Chains A and B, each alone.
Chain A
Amino acid sequence: MTTILDPTDERKPVARQITARSGTLSGTIGLLDIRKPRGNVLLDELERQIRAAAPDVTVKRFTKPTFTKPCPDDIRRDIAAQVDYLVEALAD
């Protein structure tokens, strides 16, 4: 961990950083289908590969009502409560 001091006038937030990588696969991975056509096909294949490569990992599937609107709050809360990582299939 390196700490640096902000050289700016601090009017803008610092851009988000990458979460530290543990180097291993464990915990629960969520797969979010935003309802773009064939996004489910991609996620099905991803789930199959994750289960094959890391049998101890739990996979949970989530689906947005529609890709045209932001994810409803209750689905966001469900995801945050149930998974450690989330993969979202963004587009067709």
Chain B
Amino acid sequence: MTEPKPGFSLKSLAGGTHAFPAGGPSLVVFVKEDCETCNTAAPVIEAFHRAYGEKLQVLMPSQSGEASALFAARHSLTFPVLDDTGCKTSFDWDIEIVPSVFWLNPDGSLQQHFEGFVRAEWQALSAEIAASLSLPQAQIDWDALPAWRPGCGSRHLYPEIFARLSAEANGELLRARRIEIGEADDVAEFMFDQGFSDGLPLVPPTPERVLRMLGGTHRAPQDLIAVVPPNMGEATTEKVAINAVMAGCKPEYMPVLIAALEAVCTDAFNIHGVTATTMGAAPVIVVNGPIRDRIGMNKGLGALGSGNRANATIGRALRLIVGNVGGGKPGGVERSTLGNPMKYTMCFAENEERSPWPPLHVERGFNKDDSVVTVFAMTGGPVHIVDQESREPRQVAGSIGLGLEGVFLPKLRNLPVDALLVVCPEHIDTLMSQGHYTKAELRARIQEVTSRPLSEMVASDTSGAGIPKATAEKMGAEKLRASAPKFAGEEYIHIVVAGSDAGKFSSAFHGWATGEIGSQSVSRKIDLG
């Protein structure tokens, strides 16, 4: 015995209410008015009703709204045609095709089910119903009917209807506060007024959209993904999905966004400090591995912006979560003097295919086939490094080094500060023109060409920054003749490859306070379930 089909209570066209199950055997047939096959089946069902009606309850949930009356009149139907315009019953019964025929026992359990119009099936059903009810068979001219006709798709599977029904059916999965926006309010303006936005318009996070977004991850809606500073708000998968909808993400971006959120909410990355600093830092997200192509990320032409949905919206969604769930809003805990455009979004994929080096994630201990996000706290960039003339590897590496002089202030050296260097393919080609030029060689070259005597760092009339005069005097001339490179160590220089094949323009992001009291870059493997 099968499980009883879901009960329902639907209004008929005549106005009465009909419930299922009603205590006797029944025949339930789902139809829609504009389905040819439903129109073929309707006279057969009417004949069933005339022959077996006193012992068999015949019910016809129709999905066609007002057109259901046309359907009933066209075939002179005398049994109840029920209004399932909203398709709730069709959804509950999980049908796919109309006509969908269910012969059911008095308790609502299934005796037999088929779809469409296969004459032999209908004929056999007629005989079996007649036999079970000890009634003569319905008089039907079977030869006048087609042998076979496929049915049509059930209306409840139309995407917009299915999304709504799923949202209603799965309502208990969603626990976020529901906000009903009055008809007199404009939804977009309302969201601006509530402070949900980063300054740009948002996609309204309706339950339908949020459910679709949740379909992009195997994580349960109420799983805690991260506790987000500064307010220590709890970012559940549901809250992540709501903000992802607002940012314009597709569901398949969710695993990347979740990994990025986990990464920035670590103690090492310190999103609190990154958000709060007056220097104006923002997370820069680099994505490696197979997921880049699977979700259509940009690693080539224009990788650092704009025009690619995945790049743009993953970075934006992360920032919206920090603002909305974490409460890090400009003027509140976010205290950046100037801000920077990366605070809207900054996310791109490494062009691993165009790189002669191990990609970033492999360098950081992951397998090449892993999909990984790496987050950096950056205050400036991308700052271009223009060199269209160098033809020697040492020359272009030298230019790249000189291009990094501007981190913080050209005068400052020995900085314990990260830089994220994005080398373009044409510069890669020059670097490789005389054999393999390693990342280690490039880092060493950067340090070499940026080395200057400490005496150049001493505070002066030109700039008061650097080594205070009193300290310099204590150090003495000999110590000041020693040279210092731009970075306190080569480990502060992070290198990826991105961009298109044309153009000798590499670029660099300049870091914030790197280290335990500031921020350290963090990599997270993307959980693809």
Instruction: Tell me the A residues contacting B by CB distance below 8 Å.
Output: 1-11, 14-15, 17-21
19 of the cross-chain contacts (CB-CB < 8 Å) are: A2-B181, A2-B206, A4-B178, A4-B206, A5-B178, A5-B242, A6-B176, A7-B243, A8-B325, A9-B228, A9-B233, A9-B234, A9-B325, A11-B231, A14-B179, A17-B184, A18-B182, A18-B184, A20-B182
- Find out whether the CB atom of B204 lies under 8 angstroms from the CB atom of A4: yes
Task: Bits for B405-431, please: 1 = Cβ < 8 Å to A, else 0.
Answer: 000000000000000000000000000
For the complex, is B362 an interface residue (Cβ under 8 Å from A)? no
CB-contacts of B229-243 with A (<8 A): 231, 233-234, 238-239, 242-243
**With an 8 A cutoff between CB atoms, is B401 at the interface?**
no
How many residues of B sit at the interface, in one of the four size bands? 35 or more
Contact of B233 among A2, A4, A5, A8 (CB under 8 A): A8
Across the interface, which residues of B come within 8 angstroms of A19, CB to CB? 182, 184
Q: Are B196 and A8 in contact (CB under 8 A)?
A: yes
**Cβ-defined partner of B205 (8 Å) among A5, A11, A21:** A5
Interface of A is mostly: loop
Closest residue to B231 on the A side, CB-wise? A9
Given contacts A10-B176, A14-B177, contact A5 B207 (CB under 8 A): yes
Distance in angstroms between the alpha carbons of A3 and B182 in the assembled complex: 9
Q: Are B183 and A1 in contact (CB under 8 A)?
A: yes
Which of B174, B207, B239 contacts A7 (CB under 8 A)?
B239
Asked whether, in the complex, the Cβ of B176 is within 8 Å of the Cβ of A21, the reply is no
Residue of B nearest to A17 (CB): B182
Q: Which residues of B contact A9 (CB under 8 A)?
A: 228, 231, 233-234, 239, 324-327
Indicate if B484 sits at the interface (CB-CB under 8 A).
no
Could you say which of A3, A4, A8, A14 has the most chain B C-beta atoms within 10 Å of its C-beta? Answer: A4
Q: Report B284-325 CB contacts with A as 1/0, cut-off 8 Å.
A: 000000000000000000000000000000000000100011
Q: Is B196's CB under 8 angstroms from A3's CB?
A: no
Please tell me if the beta carbons of B184 and A3 are within 8 angstroms of each other in the complex: no
Chain B: minimal CB distance from A21 (Å): 5
**Beta-carbon contact of B242 and A6 below 8 Å:** yes
A20 to B206 CA separation, bound complex (whole angstroms): 20
- Min CB–CB distance A73 → chain B (angstroms): 28
Quick one: closest B residue to A13, CB to CB?
Answer: B177
Task: Say which one of B70-78, B185-193, B469-477 lies at the interface with A.
Answer: B185-193
In angstroms, Cα B194 to Cα A6, docked, is 10
Q: Which of chain A's residues has its CB closest to B246's CB?
A: A7
Contact A17 B187 (CB under 8 A): no
- The residue in chain A whose Cβ has the minimal distance to the Cβ of B234 is A9
Residues in A whose Cβ lies below 8 Å from that of B179: 3-6, 14
Contact of B207 with A8 in the complex, beta carbons under 8 Å: no
Determine how close the nearest CB of chain B comes to the CB of A64; give it in whole angstroms: 28
Q: For residues 127 through 146 of chain B, which have their beta carbon under 8 Å from a beta carbon of chain A?
A: none
Which residue of chain A lies nearest to B238 when distances are taken between CB atoms in the complex? A5
* Residue on A nearest B243 in the bound complex, by CB: A7
With A and B bound together, what is the CA distance between A83 and B324 in angstroms?
Answer: 39
* Chain B positions 192 through 205: 1 when the CB is less than 8 Å from some CB of chain A, otherwise 0: 01101000000011
Q: Is B210 an interface residue (CB 8 A)?
A: yes
Chain B's nearest CB lies how many Å from the CB of A56? Answer: 23
What is the CA–CA distance of A17 and B325 in the complex, to the nearest angstrom? 22
CA distance in complex: A17, B179 (Å): 10
A8→B206 CA distance, assembly (Å): 14
Instruction: Tell me if B180 counts as interface (CB < 8 A to partner A).
Output: yes
Let me know if A2 and B320 touch, CB within 8 A: no
Please judge, given known A-B contacts A15-B193, A19-B182, whether A5 and B177 are in contact too, CB under 8 Å.
yes
Q: Mark B424-451, 1 if CB is under 8 A from A, else 0.
A: 0000000000000000000000000000
A7-B185 CB under 8 A given contacts A1-B180, A14-B194, A15-B193: no
Q: Check if A2 sits within 8 Å of B205, measured CB to CB.
A: no
**CB proximity of A67 to chain B, nearest CB, Å:** 28
A33 to chain B, nearest CB (A): 27
Q: Which of B177, B185, B187 contacts A10 (CB 8 A)?
A: B177
Nearest CB on A from B276, distance (A):
17
Q: Which chain A positions have C-beta within 8 A of B174? A: 5
Contact of A2 among B204, B228, B243 (CB under 8 A): B204
Task: Tell me if A4 and B205 are in contact (CB < 8 A).
Answer: yes
Contacts of A20 in B (CB 8 A): 182-184
Contact partner of B210 among A2, A5, A8, CB < 8 A? A5
Are B325 and A4 in contact (CB-based, < 8 A)? Answer: no
User: Which residues of the other chain, B, contact A1 by a CB distance below 8 angstroms?
Assistant: 180-183
Q: How far is the CA of A4 from the CA of B206 in the complex (A)?
A: 4
Min CB distance B164 to A, Å, is 11
**Please, how many angstroms separate the alpha-carbon atoms of A18 and B325 in the complex?**
26
